[in-house]
Amino acid sequence: MNIKRHIIVLFFLSSIGILNAQKGYDLWLQYSEISDSQLKNNYTSNIKGLKLLGSSATLDVSANEIKNAWNSFFDQEIKNLTEGENLLVLGSKDELSPALQEELKSEFAKINEEGFLIKKVSIANKPAILITAKSDIGVLYGSFRFLKEIQLHNDISDIDIIDSPKIQKRVLNHWDNLDRTVERGYAGFSIWDWHLLPQLIKPEYKDYARANASIGINGTVLTNVNANSLVLTAPYIEKVKALAEVFRPYGIQVYLTARFSAPLESGDLDTADPLNDEVRKWWKDKADEIYAEIPDFGGFLVKANSEGQPGPNNYGRSHVDGANMLTEAVAPHGGIVMWRAFVYSEHDPADRAKQAYSEFVPFDGKFQDNVLVQVKNGAIDFQPREPFHPIFGAMPDTPLMMEFQITQEYLGFSSHLVFLPKLFEETLQSDTYVKGENSSVAKVIDGTLSNKKLTGMAGVANIGTEKNWTGHPFGQANWYGFGRLAWDPYLDSKKIAEDWLKMTFTNNPEFVQPVKDMMLDSRETVVKYMTPLGLHHIMDTGHHYGPGPWVSELSRPEWNPVYYHKANSEGIGFDRTKSGSNALAQYADPIAEKYSSPETTPEKYLLWFHHLPWDYQMENGNNLWFNIATTYQEGVDEVRNMIDTWEKMEKYVDEQRYQKVSMLLQIQLKEAKWWRDACLAYFQQFSNMELPESVPAPEHNLEYYKSLKFPFAPGIRPSWN
């Protein structure tokens, strides 16, 4: 009997673990049961059945999502009906009656091909809620929006929503390799099981598509920007085709990274010169081959002449030559080329931050119409904080695509809680002055400043084989937040955080408000304990895990942290004014003028633009050294506050997710102290000043921190060959 009881208990606990894991797996599509009788009545009295207008795989997906959600919300089935009162009606504009089309004419004029309408209407003289759009994909987006209204416990009695994406290409960039390792991936291996494709279609592929469609992501680049030309061969095209078929009903196009030297590496040609006729034909034939199998293939993402990758410069050609050659291949099929602007010289440059601007701005207006120049949010490399990339204010005649990093390469991997939409929002709201005041980065990338027809935003994915997809439960919020901002780059990160919490955990305000505040503060906290006051690129080498401000022996100068902080007995910081690299001149005059003096430079960018003495007096009356040290300490203290907040949330969260976040926050605290102690131990030898009383002495000496090695840290870049 005791043995049986023990087995029953183990089975029960195991079942709870499976259910809790499912909560993580379901992301923000929890569809938690609504037990409040008043709320339940509001929804079930307004919806008595489901009616589809038309037939397509996408409409079927929409209907199935609503049916599954309805059963989860209310433990009841929503039936397909052809007539009756209070139906939920799904269908595109062309399937509506002429009278209803005319009635909604002004609303349809406000949406684009992916937009949608959700509103109360009369159909056959009976009240109904209509989800409609100009396309079935728009209906799918509207269906997810309708379910979100229920998840947020909003009243639908008089629902009236009109919405459209403001950016066309809303794309995840997977840095996944064909061996299933993921460069800068911290949530397990790649979800693409290339070895078993195309025969084995895992359910995760559909659930991945559902999650992306629910936030409006409409494209995925399956492979690493450090590309392998093997993916362009026939066996892999067949595998990509299988994924494309899964994704198509969800409105998601597949893209591939194109290794520029593929014609050479395939053995077909002895050159990859973009102006060579045989090379141009090779790419046209390759595009024809791909589109014959995948008619809605999105196109290519290219990393060229950067960090050892081949490109047109190898043949004395420009980025324009390379990009325009590839567009000739995909343009007849409606494809695009996303050409990355992440380039910097292999030689000792005056300032790595200036490289991309120097290589791309002279070619403004010379790229073909179906090229998006993909630009990282900052000029260095996805740092915890960077000023916006100056290219966004300098190429008005070229469609520019924002590239954000969702995976936390420089922000504590998946161990640290960092709400990245705050970082994204900071960049998007920055004023470029490209067309005078109020020329925000958001207006540049959504095309409204210069009437661009092709627009895009990319996010480097943080997705892997972890049961909860992203490793850290709160890492899901960064995937979700990217999708929301790609749809509408003017959204408030506060709203994004609040929605995600309600959809993922609970609507209880006693949970939502404090955890939302914690999320919104978290990015600033990480900046404080890693790279305060404009410091940047001081992480350890290779794996980028932990601090390494002392690193100076790498083969290329601009890979070394000492190159960026330039700490010496006189001071610290990178002078990017006229007296230094003059990178500031790449920005519009109002910015250059403001940031030219340390007194008028925002303190968050102070050491990005200025090399200042340790005793430089700052706004609070204390010197620079004091402020660097106390800011590091503030970051550590704020992690402790995060832990205190989370401990009060236990009763609102399932045990599995609560415990995982609790343990990860302890790791974050330990590593925040490590960053503080290692950096201050290193910089103190130059400042030759005592630490403030509020800052404890480092736990170990500098040599200890220098000696730490992490040969198997996750996400290390594999061989590029």
Instruction: Please state at what angle helix 421-428 crosses helix 509-530, rounded to 10 degrees.
Output: 70
- The end-to-end CA distance of the chain, in Å, is 61
Among the listed residues 149, 307, 328, 654, the single catalytic one is 307
d(CA 350, CA 354): 8
Structure-token pair, residue 385 = 């904080």
CB atoms within 10 A of CB 669: 18
* 307 in active site: yes
Asked if 272 contacts 232 with a C-beta cutoff of 8 angstroms, the reply is no
* 381 in active site: yes
Among the listed residues 26, 65, 409, 540, the single catalytic one is 409
Asked if 220 contacts 174 with a C-beta cutoff of 8 angstroms, the reply is yes
Return all residues near 525 (Cβ < 8 A) that are at least 6 apart: 635, 638, 639, 642
Place of tokens 């007849």: 332
d(CA 159, CA 43): 11
Instruction: Please state at what angle helix 493-504 crosses helix 509-530, rounded to 10 degrees.
Output: 120
Which neighbouring-strand residues pair with 116? 133, 163
HEC secondary structure over 179-199: CCCECCCCCCCCCCCCCCCCC
Asked if 382 contacts 409 with a C-beta cutoff of 8 angstroms, the reply is yes
Which neighbouring-strand residues pair with 257? 301
Give the strand pairing for 116-123 and 126-133: antiparallel
Among the listed residues 193, 381, 431, 521, the single catalytic one is 381
Return all residues near 595 (Cβ < 8 A) that are at least 6 apart: 577, 584, 587, 601, 605, 609
Torsion of CA 614, 616, 622, 624, to 10 degrees: -40
Q: Which residues are catalytic?
A: 307, 381, 409
